[in-house]
Structure 1
Amino acid sequence: MSNNLALNIEKIKKEKSGIDVLADIYFHAVFGEKISPENLERFKWYGIYAQDEQQNYFSIKIPLNMGELNLIQLKTLSLISKQFSDDSLIFSNEQKIEFKNIKIFDLPKIFKLLQEVNLNTFFEAGHTVRRVLTCPVNGIDKTQLIDVEPLANKLNETFIGNKKFENLPNKLQIAISGYEEGCDVQFTPDVSFNAIKDSKEKILFNVKILGNSIGFISPSQVLKTAIAIANIYKDFGERDDVEKSSFEYLVKNLGLIRFYDILNSTINYKIQQSSFKNEISHPRKPRLGINESKIEGQSYIGCKIYDRVVQSSKLDNLSSLLEKYEANRVKLTHKGNIIILDVPTLNAQNLACELEKISFNPFV
C-alpha cells in the first residue's frame, strides 16, 4: 500500500465504510490504542481529526443544520469547551463549531452531550453529501421570495447519515436559497437551487451546476433533482485518480450539456432549460446591525466577530444576554459571524448595545 492515503481512499472505503467506525471510535476512547492511518481517514466521517502524529490531541468539527443554535445548545457547547477543550471553541466557516485539544478518551462524553441537545458530527467530512447551505436570515427576511427551511430539512434528512450517499467519489455540496441571486457562502457550491418568480408570480427554482444555470424546476422537484444529481456523481465520478475525483471535474469532463442530458434522462419530469451562460450576480449578504423581521414584533441582530476563537466566558455572556432580552435562537453566518434571530423589537436596541460591550459588535 502506498503511504499516500489519498491514493488509496477507495480501498480504505471498500474495506470499511466511514459511517461504520463509531464502534472503533469508542474502542480507541476506552483502550487508548493508537489509531491506524486508515481509521484516521474514516474518522473524518464523524468530524474527528488528529492534531499531531502522536495522537495526543484531536479536534472535533460540528456542522450545524442551517447554521442554527438555540439557547440550550449554546450552553452545552460552552460546557464542552470548559470541560474538554481549553475553555474555548471556534466559529468556523461553513456554519461549523470546532473544538481543539480534545483527548480521545473524552469523545464518548462529548458525543453524549451533543446528542442530548440534538447536535451531531455525522457527515462533517468524507466523501458524502454535506449539510445543505442556506442563507442565515432565511425565514425572517422580508425580501426573501420563499422560506426554504422545509426543503433544506428534507435534503438533510435524505442525505445526512444515509448509507446510499456515504461513498461518493468525493464530497458534494448543495446550497438552497430563497433569493434569486443566492447567498454569499464564500465559494461556488457544486449544486445550487435559487428561488425565482416567473411571469405569473409562481415560485420556481433555478438549478445551478457550479454556478451555471441549467434550467428551472418546481419546489416539489428540488429533492428529486438533488437525489438524481448525487446518483450521477456516484455512478459517473472518477474514483481511480483522487485529483480528478471532484464533482467539478466530472461536470467539466462531461460538459454541461451532456450532464444536463444525463440528468434529464434519470428523472420523470423535464427541467425547463435555460441558456448555458455564467450569470453575473452578487450573492445576497446577511445584514449586520438591527433589522426588522418579517415575524411581527421581532427584529434580528447581525453581529461581527473579529476573533473566531470564542472563550467560554464570552459564550456564557452571550447566553445570559439572550435570556435577559427574551431571545433564544442564533445562526452562524458563512463567515463565522452570528445573527440573533428572534429579538423582541422593544428589546433590540438595548440588546445591541450590550452585545457591543462583549465584542459581538452589531455597529459596524
Structure 2
Amino acid sequence: MPELPEVEVVRRGLARWVRGRTITGVEILDARSIRRHAPGPEDLRGNLEGARVLDVARRGKFLWMPMVEPSAPDAAPPFALMAHLGMSGQLLMETPDLPDEKHLKVRFTLSPAADSDGAPMPDELRFVDQRIFGGVFLAGLLPTPDGQPGGLSETGLPLVPAEAAHIARDPLDPAFSFDDFYRRMRARRTGIKRALLDQGLISGVGNIYADEALWAARLHFARPTDTLRRADALRLVEAARDVMLRALEAGGTSFDSLYVNVNGASGYFARSLNAYGREGQPCPRCEAAGLPTLIRRDSFMNRSSYSCPVCQKRPRNGRW
C-alpha cells in the first residue's frame, strides 16, 4: 500500500494539474471503483459535472478535492471528491489521444487550462486500479473541531470529510500536536510500533516508515508506550517527520511496480532505507562504528518488523 509520502506526492501533483478547473464529464467504466458512493453512478456524475475543483487536500493517506457548485461559486464547498488509492490505485493526468490504460476505472474530463508557460494541460484525470481495493466517492464536509485546516493543502480550509474526521493528523501536518500525541500514546499501554500504526493516534505512518523512524530514534518496536519518556517520544516523531520529508524529496518508497505518482513516475527512496527489508544486511550505524551487526526480522502483526539487535535493544517487558 502506498505510504504517506507517496500519497503526498500525488496530492502535490494533482493540485498543480486540477486546482481551479471544472469537471465537464465523468465516465465510469467499472462501477466497483465507486462502490463507496452509495447513491450510485448517476448521482456521482450529476453532482460532479459542472463543479469546480477548489483544492486538493490530504490527511494521512486520505485524499480529497473540495468541490464548488456552479450555482454558488463563492459559497463554502459542500462536498468533496475523495480518492483512496488502496493497494494499486493510480491517478494519472493524460491527454484524450492517449489509449486507455488496461485497468482504467473512472475518467474525469476537465475544462481546458494552461501551465505557467502557456502550454496546454492534459484534459483527463484517470483513476486506474488493477486490484480494485481503492476507489472514488463523494463525501460531505464538516468543520474541524479545532478550527485548523482539515488537512494539508494550499488553501487550508477548516473542513474535513466525515469519512476522514476520525483520522489523526500526521507528522507533516502543521496542525499536528506533539503534546496531544504524547499524552494519548502514554495512555495506550501498548508497544510503540502498534501505537505508530494506529491511525487514530497518528496517521500516515505505515510499516516501512515505522521501522525507519524507530531505527533512527534507536527504539525497539516492542518498547511499552507507558515507559517512553517525553524526550524519546519527541525524538521518534522528529525521526518519522525527517524520514518522510526525505522520502518526499525522492518521490516515495513503494516497492510495488503498480504504484506511480500522478505523472507516472515511480519513487526511488527505497534505495536509502536503513532497516526495512534489510534482514541479514549490516546495520549502517553499527557498520560505521566498526561493529559487524546484522539487521534482524521479526514477525509482527502478520507482517515483518526490521531492527538492529545492538542499537535497538529489545526491552525485557516488551509489548508486541
Higher share in helix: 1
Q: TM > 0.5 between the two?
A: no
